[in-house]
Structure 1
Amino acid sequence: MSRRRAARLGAAELAIAGALAAIPRPTHAQAGGDAAAAEVLFEQAIALMRQGNYEQACPRLAESQRLDAGVGTLLYLAACYERLGKTASAWATYREAADAARRHGQADREQKAREGAAAIEARLTRLLVEVPADSAAPGLSVRRNGQELAQVLWGTPMPVDPGAYTVEASAPGRLPWSTTAAIDPAGGTVTVTVPPLEAAPPPQGAPPAAPAAASRGAPAAQTAPAAPPARPASPDAAGMPAQRLVALVAAGAGVVGIGVSVGLGFEARARFQDAGAHCDGDLCDDDGIEIRGDAMDLARAGTVVFLVGAAGLATGGVLWFTAPSPDAGAGTRPAVQVGLGPLGLSLGGRF
């Protein structure tokens, strides 16, 4: 370091010491250990400042102010911050000291504090954190050096001390983002813009999303269809082949049909007997003719039902005796189709 540079620094330190000496020493009215500790810390800080050791002096003044607040301590602390290069801290502390002096009716100290704040304000450095509308994801949290930055401060240039600042952003379901901004002591505003946060990948074990189309306009790859639900156990699992089950059904239907046909036959016979009161041999009056017609219709219906029932019974017999044994392989199992039509039962399939 040149001798001229050293001389300038010495003159500046002497000027600061003179300004500090002009400030009346604060009086601590509070009794007890806190006031005593505050007094000791204050005296240590003043000695360190006269030695140019502001790094150790400023924390002692801040703690002394916390233990026993005083306007004079605030003025010393603001001057210490200014010498340390913490312009934003010095500016804020000067303003705090001015307000405290005004409340206590200390006009001279208020004037010194306001002059100190005004001298620094033109040299303040500011950090502006912008959050565009497309970046404001639900639940977005923005932090500056680990401290939450309230949403009302987004987009507002805030005075900060020169140095490096880490800006972080996070939101539920999004990947976190961070960057570091360097604040130059020369002043000015540094802007940090929070970009839209990328979506976080699905947790491990979750099914992957369908891949994007290989080219613009190409349809997205379709996912494989889900496997169909398992079919309920077939009659084969119970020990009876399907063909024999169909045989039982067909035979049962045939027995019912034959039973119905017998009933229709008895009804037709009874109707013929009723017509005898209206007939003389083959000659009948109108009522006799109508009654005999009903009897003939019943007889014909009974015949048709009997034939259908007989066919069903016969079909059931054929299916039963041609069915494979229960332990036959799947390749020998029959495929049977049975239907009921106007001409009776229809049987089809392979055996």
Structure 2
Amino acid sequence: MSWRLAVRRGAVALAGAALLTAVPGLSRAQAGPDAATAELLFQQAIELMKQGKYDEACPRLAESQRLDAGVGTLLYLAACYEKLGQSASAWATYREAADAARRNGQPDREQKAREAVAALEARLSRLLVEVPAASAAPGLSVRRNGQEVSPVLWGTPVPVNPGTYTLEASAPGRLPWSGVVTVDPSGGTVTATVPPLSEAPPAPSAARAAPASAARAAAANVAPAAARVPPAAPPAPPAAAGMPAQRRVALVVASVGVVGMGVSAGLGFVARARQQDSGAYCDGDLCDPEGLTIRNQALDVARAGTVVFIAGAAAVAAAGVLWFTSGSPDASAGARPTLHVGLGPTGFSLGGRF
């Protein structure tokens, strides 16, 4: 059994005895599967360290510390990191052990941890990520081995374990950048500068993307999409090009005329209703002043309806003239239809050759 293990076990035994004396039942409350697992992992790690298998021992010590934290476990974990050459991890763990020993009133362990911190600090390796003002694009993100590097650490030498690091930078609307930097175990500071990111080109249009799609399809022995498109439909007949402007005007004029004729019919109903209302004030053709007023109003409405009807009929007739005289683009002059419109006291007449 090593002296470190003996010291750790002795300290745990003394602390346990003190707790049992001061507060009965406290040690039983703390004992559990986590504490037992932590002790098992600790013992396994000690044996692996004796065999020089630090890469297997360090994870066990870290898990043991997570399950059941202790100053002794932290000291062994820091020593394990140091043996693996992970100087930054060892330095940080020794500092944590020194603070824990101070809180627990263990001055010997605190002193030992701080001596280890001082010895490692002189040969720590540091990595400085420099982002010049020209490189600080809006939304810039810098990552080290996939982990985000906070902007507050840009330009600050950060203790790191020796090894190779991949730096990446990206920003909206910019092309990403990546680089590799190696940190030697001999100590010192390595500086990695993020260059200005180039602006990303605009997205390719469909016309430029078509040749690339065809090339990929040919490489995969697949017929390009253009070869599988069915033949285009035959061109539409000339009539599909659109209605002549004169016919469109004819439709508008006809619509106005029809509306006018409808309004005249409505005025006729109103005039008839007013004529019937006058019956209460008239005896045949003899009416009192109120009846005369109502009948005059009925006559005025009837006259207005007649005028509106004539105007609407004229508009419909004019629309017919516009429609039938417009012809078609390929019709000859002799083949064009003719229209005759007549308007008399009894109404209007419509005729012609089509």
| TM-score, with structure 2 as normaliser | 0.54
Check 1:183–1:237 CA distance in 2 against 1; reply closer, same or farther (3 A cut).
farther
Aligned residue number for residue 155 of structure 1: 155
Distance 2:121 2:171 in 1: 35
TM-superposed CA distance for 1:22, in Å, is 7.6
Aligned residue number for residue 327 of structure 2: 326
1:218-277 CA-partner distances (Å, limit 9, x unpaired): xxxxxxxxxxxxxx976256498xxxxxxxxxxxxxxxxxxxxxxxxxxxxxxxxxxxxx
**Alpha carbons 2:128, 2:158 under 8 Å: kept:** yes
Aligned residue number for residue 143 of structure 1: 143
**Alpha carbons 1:127, 1:183 under 8 Å: kept:** yes
1:235 aligns with 2:250: no
TM-superposed CA distance for 1:19, in Å, is 7.4
**Structure 1 residue corresponding to 2:8, chosen from 11, 24, 28:** 24
Identity of aligned residues (%): 68
Aligned residue number for residue 191 of structure 1: 191
Distance 2:180 2:7 in 1: 39
Could you say what the CA RMSD is over the residues aligned between the two structures, in angstroms? 3.3
Aligned residue number for residue 100 of structure 1: 100
Distance 1:138 1:42 in 2: 48
TM-superposed CA distance for 1:170, in Å, is 1.1
Check 1:188–1:64 CA distance in 2 against 1; reply closer, same or farther (3 A cut).
same
TM-superposed CA distance for 1:197, in Å, is 1.3
- AA paired with 1:52? G
Distance 2:3 2:184 in 1: 27
**Alpha carbons 1:239, 1:326 under 8 Å: kept:** no
Residue 165 of structure 2 aligns to a residue in which SS? strand
**Alpha carbons 2:167, 2:180 under 8 Å: kept:** yes
- AA paired with 1:87? S
Aligned residue number for residue 78 of structure 1: 78
Distance 2:117 2:41 in 1: 25
Distance 1:74 1:174 in 2: 44
**Alpha carbons 1:136, 1:196 under 8 Å: kept:** yes
Residue 72 of structure 1 aligns to a residue in which SS? helix
Distance 2:206 2:154 in 1: 36
- AA paired with 1:125? S
Bigger helix share: 2
TM-superposed CA distance for 1:173, in Å, is 1.6
**Alpha carbons 2:246, 2:326 under 8 Å: kept:** no
Aligned residue number for residue 65 of structure 2: 65
1:152-203 CA-partner distances (Å, limit 9, x unpaired): 1111000000111111111112121111111111111111111111222223
Check 1:200–1:23 CA distance in 2 against 1; reply closer, same or farther (3 A cut).
farther
1:50-105 CA-partner distances (Å, limit 9, x unpaired): 11111111111111000000000000011111111000000000011000001111
TM-superposed CA distance for 1:113, in Å, is 0.1
- AA paired with 2:245? P
- AA paired with 1:62? A
**Alpha carbons 1:236, 1:326 under 8 Å: kept:** no
**Alpha carbons 1:130, 1:155 under 8 Å: kept:** yes
Check 1:233–1:130 CA distance in 2 against 1; reply closer, same or farther (3 A cut).
farther
| TM-score, with structure 1 as normaliser | 0.55
Check 1:99–1:207 CA distance in 2 against 1; reply closer, same or farther (3 A cut).
farther
Q: Across the two proteins, how many residue pairs are aligned to each other?
A: 214
Check 1:237–1:173 CA distance in 2 against 1; reply closer, same or farther (3 A cut).
farther
Check 1:198–1:47 CA distance in 2 against 1; reply closer, same or farther (3 A cut).
same
Residue 47 of structure 2 aligns to a residue in which SS? helix
Could you tell me which runs of 5 or more consecutive residues in structure 1 were left unpaired when the two chains were aligned.
1-16, 209-231, 241-319, 333-351
Q: Pick the structure with greater CA Rg.
A: 1
Aligned residue number for residue 170 of structure 2: 170
**Alpha carbons 2:125, 2:187 under 8 Å: kept:** yes
Distance 2:114 2:206 in 1: 62
Distance 1:22 1:115 in 2: 21
Aligned residue number for residue 43 of structure 2: 43
TM-superposed CA distance for 1:326, in Å, is 3.3
Aligned residue number for residue 253 of structure 2: none
**Alpha carbons 1:144, 1:167 under 8 Å: kept:** yes
Alignment map for 1:104-123 (pairs within 5 Å): 104-123=104-123
- AA paired with 1:91? W
**Alpha carbons 2:95, 2:114 under 8 Å: kept:** yes
Q: Which runs of 4+ in 1 moved over 2 A?
A: 17-30, 201-208, 232-240, 324-330
Distance 2:72 2:136 in 1: 44
Distance 1:119 1:74 in 2: 17
Aligned residue number for residue 54 of structure 1: 54
Alignment map for 1:301-316 (pairs within 5 Å): none
Alignment map for 1:235-254 (pairs within 5 Å): 235-236=245-246, 238=248
